[in-house]
Amino acid sequence: MPSPGLTRRRVTQKGVAPEVRTRVVTKLVEAIDEAERLAKGSGRRSRSGGGGISPKERWYLVMGYLAQVLDGVLKNFDLESVKEKMDQMETVLDELQRTASTAG
């Protein structure tokens, strides 16, 4: 059971243009690459008041969060395409059942 305040929300945007999704994916991949570059160039020691986490670890955390967002965007895309195919199949099935009942 998820803790209060930590529930995950999945938002599926129907009718979002493929170009928009492609731009979002591209920007997320670029942001992940940039976070990795910054992590590799950051120090391993935290400065005073840094909460005990080094800058390198912080950048890798950011990179992980971005990867989770990217994963969600890609899963939503897959789910939408499966739902669209299911709708198409139901339409074809309805048409076949209708023609079979009139022919029989």
Q: What is the pLDDT of residues 2-15, one digit of tens each?
A: 555 555 444 555 66
Share of residues in the chain with pLDDT > 70 (%): 77
Residue 1: predicted pLDDT: 46
User: ∠ CA(61), CA(32), CA(49), 5° rounding?
Assistant: 30
Q: How many helices (H) and strands (E) does the chain have?
A: 2, 0
Residue 103: predicted pLDDT: 65
Taking phi over 0 as left and psi of -120 to 50 as alpha, with beta for the rest, 51 belongs to: left
Residue 36: predicted pLDDT: 93
Per-residue pLDDT tens digits for 36-59: 999 999 888 766 665 678 888 889
Residue 35's contacts (CB-CB under 8 Å, 6 or more residues apart) are 59, 60, 62, 63, 66
